[in-house]
């Protein structure tokens, strides 16, 4: 009697965290599983028939991938590469992969099986954990300082008002007005540093609704000087989130993009400033050390000059700014809100293409904190 349990192998392969590629004897792609689609950011439909070397070979890698694959085809000898470089969307990523011959029942149609494990994911997790820790320490420090500054401000304001009333000379009144308006400015800044005082209220939210709101706010602000393109996947599931806080996150990022474009007009001699709002489902994404099968991804992309290189690593830290008038709080607040939603923000930036991606888990077992 056959005791093998009935397993849907297709489902199994598609749920593996290992990326799997099948390649025919002409070295064209025959099949890739979901993890592989996510790894190379390509769909099976687009990839099938494509030369595998397009995916598996990075210009910066000196290894002769083509020869090695052909050798496996001829000799059936498997091989493993550690820390190989592959190039995805112009970005080098590092993978370990094993190549072997699939002994198919049809000997004249051999298939090469390639199993890939990205090692960046591991590297990224530890880097992220470090970042989160440093970020929390910095935020606590800032909150402490902000509190200390806020307390005496009320006293200074009150005393100045009293002083203003007892002064008859209008010339002096001008000075007290200056003190009061500067105190108010400081108070506003300190309030931003302390963050929102409202407790978040989480509800099932369609992220397109806050996104559309942000779009219209930006259109109003920029008076149509910037082209705004929408690229929405309307079939996205709802997420459990605080709508107003999401608006703040998207607005902080959107305003940065607008500022980067409007304040660097010389960058746009032969093209128009453009903001792209994109929504997608992202498979297999690690958020705060948890591997999620899928998450909702919102990209806010601009074609401005990019985040200055010297601050790219620390761009989410409080008080890091590349702008003369910036306070460097926008992104730190946004990242904080996303963490409270069990989500995260990632940034990729080169001149001409800056993408801030927001990730939000949506599956019901990820209930927001
Ligand atoms: N889309 C972008 N393109 C180029 N640079 C960017 C972009 N987004 C952010 N930056 C850089 O990151 C820095 C930090 O942004 P952040 O929003 O945290 O602070 P800020 O904009 O300087 O001040 P604020 O507190 O007023 O938001 C910015 O000063 C800018 O140099
Ligand atoms: Mg900002």
* 91-122 per-position pLDDT tens digit: 778 889 999 998 765 667 889 999 998 887 66
What is the model's pLDDT at position 127? 64
Q: Decide: 254 in ligand 1 pocket, CB within 6 A.
A: no
pLDDT bracket for residue 303 (50, 70, 90): very high
Q: How far is the CA of 302 from the centre of ligand 2 (A)?
A: 14
DSSP 237: P
For ligand 2, an ion, list residues with CB under 5 A: 256, 330
Supply the pLDDT for residue 368.
Answer: 41
Residue that wins the pLDDT comparison between 201 and 126:
201
Which is more confidently placed, 54 or 230? 230
Q: Is the CB of 260 under 6 A from ligand 1?
A: yes
Q: What is the CA radius of gyration of the chain?
A: 26
β-partners of residue 278 are: 231, 299
**Confidence check: pLDDT of 365 > 60:** no
pLDDT on residue 126: 63
- Pull the structure tokens for residue 40: 């190379």
The contacts of residue 26 (CB under 8 Å, 6+ apart) are: none
Q: Which of 81-90, 135-144, 275-284 has the highest mean pLDDT?
A: 275-284
DSSP string, 176-207: HHHHHHHHHHHHHHHHHHH---SPP--EEE-T
Amino acid 260: pLDDT: 95
Give the HSE-up count for residue 311: Cα atoms under 13 Å, Cβ half-sphere: 14
> In this predicted structure, what is the pLDDT of residue 363?
67
**Do the Cβ atoms of 294 and 363 come closer than 8 Å?**
yes
User: How far out from the chain centre does Cα 131 lie?
Assistant: 14
How far does the centroid of ligand 2 lie from the alpha carbon of residue 337, in Å? Answer: 15
Write out pLDDT tens, residues 214-237: 999 999 989 889 999 999 999 999
Mean pLDDT, the chain, integer: 86
The listed range with the strongest mean pLDDT (54-63, 104-113, 198-207, 209-218) is 209-218
**Using the 8-state DSSP alphabet, how is residue 105 labeled?**
S
Q: Does any ligand 1 atom lie closer than 6 A to the CB of residue 321? A: yes
pLDDT, tens digit (0-9, with 9 covering 90-100), for 178-193:
999 999 988 888 887 7
Q: Is the pLDDT of residue 369 over 60?
A: no
Distance from residue 326's CA to the centre of ligand 2 (Å): 7
pLDDT tens figures, 340-357: 899 999 999 999 999 999
User: Would you say 94 and 58 are in contact if contact means Cβ atoms under 8 Å apart?
Assistant: no
pLDDT category at 366 given cuts 50, 70, 90 is very low
User: Rounded distance, CA 214 to CA 324, Å?
Assistant: 25
The residue contributing the CA closest to ligand 1 atom 1 is: 257
Average pLDDT over residues 248-267: 94
Pull the structure tokens for residue 141: 């420090």
Residue 357 CA to residue 132 CA, distance in Å, equals: 17
């Amino acid at each position: 009697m056959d005791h093998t349990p009935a397993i849907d192998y297709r489902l199994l392969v598609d749920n593996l965290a290992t990326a799997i590629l099948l390649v025919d004897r002409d070295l064209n792609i025959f099949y890739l599983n979901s993890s592989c689609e996510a790894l190379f950011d390509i769909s099976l439909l687009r990839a099938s028939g494509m030369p595998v070397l397009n995916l598996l070979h990075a210009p910066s890698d000196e290894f002769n991938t083509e020869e090695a694959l052909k050798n496996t085809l001829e000799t059936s000898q498997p091989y493993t590469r550690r820390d190989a470089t592959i190039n995805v969307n112009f970005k080098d990523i590092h993978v370990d992969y094993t190549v072997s011959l699939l002994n198919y029942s049809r000997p004249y149609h051999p298939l090469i099986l390639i199993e890939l494990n990205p090692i960046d994911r591991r590297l990224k997790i530890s880097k992220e954990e470090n970042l989160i820790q440093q970020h929390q320490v910095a935020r606590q420090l800032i909150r402490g300082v902000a509190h200390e500054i806020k307390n005496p401000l009320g006293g200074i304001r009150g005393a100045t008002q009293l002083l203003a009333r007892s002064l008859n000379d209008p010339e002096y009144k001008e000075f007290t007005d200056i003190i009061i308006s500067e105190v108010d400015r400081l108070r506003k800044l300190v309030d931003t540093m302390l963050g929102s005082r409202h407790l978040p209220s989480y509800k099932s939210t369609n992220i397109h609704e806050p996104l559309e709101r942000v779009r219209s706010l930006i259109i109003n602000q920029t008076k149509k000087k910037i082209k705004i393109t929408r690229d929405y996947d309307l079939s996205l599931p709802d997420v459990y989130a605080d709508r107003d806080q999401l608006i703040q996150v998207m607005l902080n990022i959107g305003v940065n993009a607008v500022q980067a474009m409007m304040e660097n007009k010389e960058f746009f001699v032969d093209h128009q400033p453009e903001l792209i709002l994109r929504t997608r489902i992202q498979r297999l994404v690690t958020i705060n050390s948890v591997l999620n099968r899928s998450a909702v991804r919102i990209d806010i992309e601009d074609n401005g000059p990019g985040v200055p290189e010297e601050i790219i690593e620390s761009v989410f830290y409080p008080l890091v700014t590349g702008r003369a008038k910036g306070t460097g709080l926008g992104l730190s607040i946004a990242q904080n809100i996303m963490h409270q939603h069990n989500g995260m923000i990632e940034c990729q930036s080169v001149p001409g293409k800056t993408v801030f991606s927001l990730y939000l888990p949506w599956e019901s077992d990820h209930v927001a904190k």
